Amino acid sequence: MKIINVEKIPEIIKKWQNDCEVFVPVDNEGAVDFIPWSEGSKITLEGNSLVPPKKLFFPQTETLYKYETKGQSANVIALEEKTAQRIIFGIRPCDLKSLEMLDDVFLTKGFVDPYYKLKRENTALVALLCAEACDTCFCTSMNIDPGAASGADIVACKSGEQLGLQAQTEKGEELLNKVSQLTTEGEIDFKKAGNFKLQADIEGLAEKLKEHFESPYWEAACRKCIGCGTCTYLCPTCHCFDINSNTRGDHGIKTRCWDSCMFSEYTLMAGGHNPRPGKKERFRQRFLHKLQYFPERYNKTACVGCGRCLAKCPAIVDITRIITELREVTGIGTGNVESVS
Amino acid sequence: MSNELTTQMRELAKKLLEEEKVQMVIGWEKGSLPYHSTPVFVTNPEDAQKLIWDEYCANNLASYLLDYRNSGMKIALFVKGCDSRAIVRLLQDQQINRENVYVIGINCPGIKDNFNPEKEIAERCRDCTHPEPVLYDEIIGEKPDRASDKERFEGIEEIENMTPDEKYQFWQKEYDKCIRCFACRNVCPGCSCRECIFDQGQKWLERRVVSSENAFYHLTRALHLAGRCIECGECERVCPMNIPIMKLNKKIAKDIDSLFGPYEAAVNLEEMPPLGKYKEEDPEEFM
């Protein structure tokens, strides 16, 4: 393992930045965000970002191509692809896991999204293991290890003022070689986060939910939801989008933007019919997508326990409670959850 | 939760439901974390035990009445001072029938911010003008012995003193943070349009999250609430991106107050919003 004092992290990043852009978690007026590092950026090694790093692979607003019309003909103009290499420094194990799910959506089952693929291939990931859980964290309930980072090129862990860096891929080796003069060989005493305040047990739930689409539970559970899109936009696994054209005269752009199943427009059809007309249908969709449909299609629960949805929900809709309540509704018992409160 | 107000709330709710005076009681229950108190909708008397009152009962429950505006249901709900003004808002806007709502006022000692639980008191409570509810059927809790430590329009002069360019830069920087989750709209008791302008198939607002669209969204909303904003601060509380939404709302309230006032929205049921009524002596300097 390579060791460096945390104060020296900017020096590593500066070195890396000679060849590529490095995104780092920075505390920006109380909200941590992944932004390109620049001289003076204050990197935060505590907690997690407010908006998940999915935005670096699947931006909220993305221009896909341009077009122009001339008389009866139309031209599609491809955008110049950005092929520059990027590094994300400080991605947490939960968010790393969410990328596996986005990979499933954007790269498998016979569909390959070139925009996503390019960004994924051009990005090296330096994961930061978690020594401390936030109040709203429950990754272990989603079978994610806060002390491991499979899929990362480099794994970093912090203990006191020391940061340990371990390459997991060739790309990671190369990056560490570039900064070898700044690091020393050694080991650090890292203890992963243990005290999780929230827990939920998803074992066996996906299968059972199939029979409870019409359960009166949804009507009661959805009441407090205000129908905003905060949970979906801050969720690292939510990936719904909408494609639109912006035409000005004889030219325009095609854009792809995040969309949310919590919005009435999301399922509104051209003729005016809305198959999910109200709060109940939208609320149910969000939870069933995470807990039943995604597991059915990709064999993974589309929740990584990052807790962002709960942390920022205006009405404190708590997915761990919903999972626990759904266990009761489906009759599979409270599950393996220690009493926490 | 064993404070006196909690006990009173549970007894009241139980009685109202048992006597079938209402079909639902909206209050707060405890969430998973100590600083999480979350809305609860009680429909049977036994569940009245879920109700609690503590310093984290932040949500303005009145906005939920919009979900039941066509149901004909009789609903009881608990309101703090600011929330009671939301009831007035909904009544003046003819969104609810007075006889279908049973309002239980709570003399509010000021609450904490569940998103910033380390703060002694929620920022929005610091300039509270109505800790005592302005409208209620019955009221619980001791009259609060507290004074605001902030004037109603304190801090607004900072914006007023900016040059147009500075103002533009200030707001553009804030609006660029917006992710357009619409939490500020959805939580607002003044946002009661059956079909919001922003939900009309991008006729008015593009889905693209870019400066111009974000500014259009925020400015439209602020102006739509001109003279109607009850200054409860829910929009700013729920904004995940920490946009100072109330700064603009307060600036507009201040303008309304100086042009047509003194006026404070939804404090008195009889006093309609200045932009919602005609008065001969209204200023018309621009004519």
Report ipTM for this prediction. 0.95
Please indicate whether, in this complex, the C-beta atoms of B59 and A198 are within 8 angstroms of each other: no
In a domain, B151, yes or no: no
Q: Are B71 and B187 in a shared domain? A: no
- Contact call for A51 and B179, based on CB within 8 A: yes
Domain with B11, as residue range(s), is: 4-140
pLDDT reading at B70 higher than 80: yes
pLDDT at B2: 53
State pLDDT tens for residues B15-60. 999 999 999 999 999 999 999 999 999 999 999 999 999 999 999 9
The reported pLDDT for the residue numbered B108 is 93
pLDDT given for residue A275 in this prediction: 96
Angle at A324 (CA atoms; ends A318, A329), nearest 5 degrees: 120
Cross-chain Cβ contact A135/B115 below 8 Å: no
Q: Which of A54, A223, A260 to mutate to test the interface with B (most CBs of B within 10 A)?
A: A223
B259 shares a domain with B221: yes
Residue of A35, A312, A316, A341 to mutate, testing the B interface (most B Cβ within 10 Å of its Cβ): A316
Question: How distant is the Cα of A192 from the closest Cα of chain B, in angstroms?
Answer: 22
Nearest CB to B38; choose among A50, A260, A315: A315
Cβ(A32)–Cβ(A23) under 8 Å? Answer: no
**What pLDDT score was predicted for residue B144?**
82
Report yes or no: A223 at the B interface, CB cutoff 8 Å.
Answer: yes
Instruction: Please indicate, yes or no, if residue B286 is contained in any of the structural domains.
Output: no
Q: Examine residue B211 and state whether it is found in any structural domain, yes or no.
A: yes
Which pLDDT score, from 0 to 100, does residue A183 have?
95
Q: Check whether residue B243 and residue B184 sit in a common domain.
A: yes
- Comparing B278 with B282, the larger pLDDT belongs to B278
Size of interface A-B (CB pairs under 8 A): 106
B247 & B204 share domain? yes
Q: Verify cis geometry, omega within 30 degrees of 0, for the bond prior to A59.
A: no
Question: Does residue B140 register a pLDDT over 90?
Answer: yes
Identify the residue among B1, B32, B209 best suited for mutation to test binding to A, counting A beta carbons within 10 A and taking the highest: B32
Q: Which residues of B touch A (CB under 8 A)?
A: 31-33, 36-41, 59, 63-64, 67, 114-115, 177, 179-183, 185-187, 199, 201-202, 206-210, 234, 237-238, 240-242
Residue B155 has pLDDT above 80, yes or no: yes
Q: Residues B81, B166: one domain?
A: no
Is residue B71 located within the same domain as residue B181?
no
Domain-ending residue, one of B116, B140, B164:
B140
Cβ of B182 within 8 Å of Cβ of A265? The answer is no
pLDDT recorded at residue A299: 97
B145 domain residue, yes or no: no
Tokens, residue B105: 């006022």
Residues B33 and B107 grouped into a single domain: yes
A51: closest CA of chain B, how far (Å): 9
Q: Across the interface, do B208 and A246 touch by the CB < 8 Å criterion? A: yes
pLDDT at B1 (0 to 100): 46
Residues B129 and B181 in one domain: no
Final residue of a domain: which of B93, B110, B140? B140
Residues A131, A47: Cα–Cα separation, whole Å: 10
Residues B34 and B125 in one domain: yes
Quote the minimal CA–CA distance from B5 to chain A in Å.
22
Within-domain flag for B252: yes
- Does pLDDT of B134 surpass 80? yes
Tell me what the mean pLDDT of segment B120-147 comes to: 91
Cβ of A223 and B64 within 8 Å? yes
- State how many domains chain B has: 2
Residues B17, B58, single domain; the answer is yes
B253-271 pLDDT tens trace: 999 999 888 999 999 999 9
Among the candidates B91, B114, B140, a domain finishes at B140
Which own/partner pairs from A311-314 qualify as long-range (CB within 8 Å, at least 24 positions apart)? A311/A134, A311/A135, A311/A136, A312/A50, A312/A230, A312/A231, A312/A234, A312/B115, A312/B240, A313/A230, A313/A231, A314/A226, A314/A228, A314/A230, A314/B59, A314/B183, A314/B186, A314/B187, A314/B234, A314/B237, A314/B238
Residues B31 and B126 in one domain: yes
Do B53 and B113 lie in a common domain? yes
Query: Which parts of chain A sit beneath pLDDT 50?
Result: 339-341
Per the CB < 8 A criterion, the answer to whether A26 and A32 are in contact is yes
What are the tens digits of pLDDT across the range B176-220? 999 999 999 999 999 999 999 999 888 899 999 999 999 999 999
pLDDT, position A337: 65
Q: By C-alpha distance, which of B66, B64, B78, B69 is closest to B13?
A: B78
Confidence of residue B287 (pLDDT cuts 50, 70, 90): low
